[in-house]
Amino acid sequence: MATPLSADRLLQALRDEGLTVVEHRSWESNNRNHRGPWGPMHGVMIHHTVTSGDTAKQTLASVELCYNGHSALPGPLCQGVIAKDGTVYLVGNGRANHAGLGDPDVLRAVINQTDPPTDNEATVDGNRHFYGFECINRGDGADPWPEAQLLAIEKAAAAICRAHGWSAKSAIRHLDWQPGKVDPRGVDWPTLLARISARLGTPKPSAPAPTPQRPTVDLSRLVAAARSDPAKAGTPVTYSGVRTVEAALVDAGLLAKRYSDGHFGRATVQAYAAWQRKLGYSGTAADGIPGRTSLTKLGTRYGFSVTA
């Protein structure tokens, strides 16, 4: 399990790989973390912007688009934008709207460091588990990919993989992840993957990775939220750890993603009761109010620790 890189470590990893990096506006705090979990991290995904970058003005417009997003898809749309000249513009730090829902078999392959299968499902939240780089290209198959830009993609993917101790198999395309996607169109991906792999074989100076920290859920505070939240109007968040538990219930296929909002409401109670029944509990022992044993088992399977 890989803890997301901090803003400082992300910036340093990219610069250590020899990239020219521009910190765009308030990128360190620009994210979508309020809309869902960020991490654990499993890979890095490459996209194209479907915009032009032949001039400085066009490049800046593409960077601004990725920073702000648009009415149908709020920003940031990635963590970094790779320009035609190889400059990397950092536009986000944390969850970003770039991957969307994708294939669980592809995610499993990335985690296991094997070749991804053909994607044919869109059921897993990729924004949670992947860093994203948008590469400025019209995506029409005719817009060229300059060597400076390809080298920057190679270095950026390698920087992320090196920081986490991953192989090149942790780098994938958007088209590998989500059915119907074609980006980055026009890139010779097998050759680029070979270049990333070769680069990872050459040591580069970088800060040591921190020991991954598992999220911790306080059982007593969680139970208090489970008992009080359903009766409250709206969707107030009384304990931040609820979001960690809801993310686990989503991953378990027991809670619809739209209810992963930090509010331990009726839908979350029902989902947790389903988890209790899955463990063999029944009657009042499967009432949707977390107990230490059931919560510990949920945390063991989906990556968090429990305190009393």
Instruction: Evaluate whether residue 208 is within a structural domain.
Output: no
Residue 228 and residue 169 share a domain: no
Mean residue pLDDT of the chain comes to 94
Residue 179 and residue 222 share a domain: no
Look at residue 208 in the predicted model and tell me its pLDDT: 53
CATH number of domain containing 67: 3.40.80.10
Look at residue 214 in the predicted model and tell me its pLDDT: 78
Look at residue 205 in the predicted model and tell me its pLDDT: 46
Number of domains forming the structure of the chain: 2
- Which of 142, 166, 200 terminates a domain? The answer is 200
Instruction: Evaluate whether residue 33 is within a structural domain.
Output: yes
pTM of the model: 0.67
Q: Which of 158, 272, 151 is nearest to 222 (CA)?
A: 272
Residue 183 and residue 263 share a domain: no
Confidence of residue 211 (pLDDT cuts 50, 70, 90): low
Sequence-separated contacts (24+) of 13-17 with Cβ below 8 Å: 13/159, 13/160, 13/162, 13/163, 13/206, 13/207, 14/80, 14/88, 14/90, 14/155, 14/156, 14/159, 16/159, 16/204, 16/205, 16/206, 16/207, 17/155, 17/156, 17/158, 17/159, 17/162, 17/199, 17/204
Instruction: Evaluate whether residue 288 is within a structural domain.
Output: yes
Look at residue 233 in the predicted model and tell me its pLDDT: 87
Per DSSP, what are the bridge partners of residue 171? 44
Residue 301 and residue 159 share a domain: no
Residue 222 and residue 178 share a domain: no
Residue 263 and residue 165 share a domain: no
Residue 49 and residue 137 share a domain: yes
Residue 252 and residue 160 share a domain: no
Residue 119 and residue 68 share a domain: yes
Q: pLDDT tens for residues 33-90?
A: 999 999 999 999 999 999 999 999 999 999 999 999 999 999 999 999 999 999 999 9
Instruction: Evaluate whether residue 296 is within a structural domain.
Output: yes
Q: pLDDT tens for residues 130-162?
A: 999 999 999 999 999 999 999 999 999 999 999
Residue 252 and residue 192 share a domain: no
Instruction: Evaluate whether residue 249 is within a structural domain.
Output: yes
> Domain span at residue 263?
216-307
- Which of 200, 231, 260 terminates a domain? The answer is 200
Instruction: Evaluate whether residue 211 is within a structural domain.
Output: no
| Cβ neighbours for 282, distance < 8 A, ≥ 6 positions apart | none
Confidence of residue 244 (pLDDT cuts 50, 70, 90): very high
- Which of 200, 234, 266 terminates a domain? The answer is 200
Identify the weakest region by mean pLDDT among 55-64, 206-215, 273-282: 206-215
Instruction: Evaluate whether residue 18 is within a structural domain.
Output: yes
Residue 226 and residue 167 share a domain: no
Residue 131 and residue 19 share a domain: yes
Instruction: Evaluate whether residue 145 is within a structural domain.
Output: yes
